[in-house]
Amino acid sequence: MNQKKVILTGDRPTGPLHLGHFVGSLANRVKMQDEYNQFVMIADMQALTDHASKPELIQKSILEVMLDYLSVGIDPKKTTILLQSLIPQIPELTMYYLNLVTWNRLKHNPTVKQEIKQKNFQDSVPAGFMIYPVSQAADITAFKANFVPVGDDQLPMIEQTNEIVRKFNRIYNKEVLVEAEAIIPEIARLPGIDGGAKMSKTLNNAIYLSDDMDKIKKKVMSMYTDPTHLRVEDPGKVEGNPVFIYLDAFDPDKENLQKMKDHYAKGGLGDVICKKHLLEVLEAFLTPIREKRKQYEKDPKHVLDLLMKGTSEAEKVASTTLKQVKDVMHLY
C-alpha cells in the first residue's frame, strides 16, 4: 500500500513559466516528489476563466509548461502530471459543491476580489471566473490532497476548499472529503526585473526559464537596482534590490555573496559588476535546464504522451472520489 501523503499543485497555462515560478513552486515540486504522492495539474479549464478568448494561447502553453516542468526535473515517474480539462470528474464535483457555497461568500473571496481588480473586469466578470474557487476545491478534493503548496495570494482558496470539505462531510454525514493544508514556500515571490513586487507575464517584467542567453543578458543588464546608487563609490542599498534578491535565490556561493553585499553597501561596487555576476549565476543555473529542454523539444509527441499517461492515472483517482461523493449524496 502506498502510504505517502498526497500533495497537489497546479498552474494556469497562459504562457511559459519564469524564475518566479521556479522559486515559488517548481523547486519545491522537484524536492517533494520523492517524499509525497504528488499531483501537478495543468489547469487549462481554470485558464479559460480569464482567457476564454485565447484558446490557441492556452493550447500552446500546455506544451510550453510541460517542457518547463520536465526540464527543471519534475519527473513523470514520480509525479503525476495531468491536464485538468481531461478529468470530467472535476466539473461534476464542482456542480455539486456549488450548492454548498453561497454567492455572497464567493463575492468576498479576497483572491477573487483582487484578481477582478487586476484584470480590470469591472462589471463584466465571467460567471466561470466567479466560481473558480469552487472548481479549485474540486481539483484539490478529487485527489484527496493533504497538502497544497501555493503562493500566499492563494491562501483564501484553501480556506474556501476546507469550508466545502467540512460542509460536505457534515451534510452527507461521512468523512468522504479530506481537508487540505497550504504550504507556503520560503521565497513566496520574486520581484520583477523592473523592481515591481511580483514577477509576472502580464507586467512584462519576467525572466523565463526558456529565455535564451541574449534575452537574459538584455533583461539582467536593464534590471532595476538602487535608484540612489548613482556613482560607484556611493553606498548602495542591498535590501529590496532585485539584483541581490535574485542572487539570494540562485547564487550557490553564499560566502562570496555576503562579501559582495558588504562591499555594495559600503560603496565602491558598481551595479554593472553585480549584474554581470548575476548573469553568470543565472547562466550556470539555466544551462542544464536549457539542455534538458532541448532534448524534450525534439519530440513534442512524447511530451504530450507523458501528459496523457499522467492524466489517465489521475482520472482513476478522481473517479474513485466521485463515486464516493455520489454514493453519500444518494446519486446512483
Residue with smaller CB distance to ligand TRP, 24 or 236:
24
Summarize as ranges the residues that interact with ligand TRP (CB under 6 A).
Answer: 8-12, 41, 43, 46, 136, 139-140, 148, 150, 154
For the chain, give the number of residues. Answer: 332
Helix (H, G, I), strand (E, B) or coil at 208: strand
**CB of 209 vs ligand TRP, minimal distance in Å:** 16
Residue with smaller CB distance to ligand TRP, 110 or 240:
110
Residue with smaller CB distance to ligand TRP, 36 or 264:
36
Place of cell 507575464: 201
* Euclidean distance between CA atoms 80 and 76, whole angstroms: 6
Residue with smaller CB distance to ligand TRP, 20 or 242:
20
**CB of 84 vs ligand TRP, minimal distance in Å:** 7
* Euclidean distance between CA atoms 329 and 332, whole angstroms: 8
Cell numbers at 254, concatenated: 553564499
**CB of 133 vs ligand TRP, minimal distance in Å:** 9
Beta strands in the chain (DSSP E): 6-11, 37-42, 79-83, 147-149, 181-183
Residue with smaller CB distance to ligand TRP, 10 or 15:
10
Residue with smaller CB distance to ligand TRP, 17 or 176:
17
For residue 36, give the DSSP letter.
S
**CB of 175 vs ligand TRP, minimal distance in Å:** 21
Cβ-Cβ contacts under 8 Å for 233 (sequence gap 6 or more):
267, 268
Of residues 249, 207, 202, the one with CA closest to residue 224: 207
Cβ-closest residue to ligand TRP? 10
**CB of 8 vs ligand TRP, minimal distance in Å:** 5
Bridge partners for 208 per DSSP = 18
Residue with smaller CB distance to ligand TRP, 148 or 303:
148
**CB of 90 vs ligand TRP, minimal distance in Å:** 9
Contact 164, 134 (CB under 8 A): yes
Other beta carbons within 10 angstroms of residue 139's beta carbon come to 29
**CB of 43 vs ligand TRP, minimal distance in Å:** 4
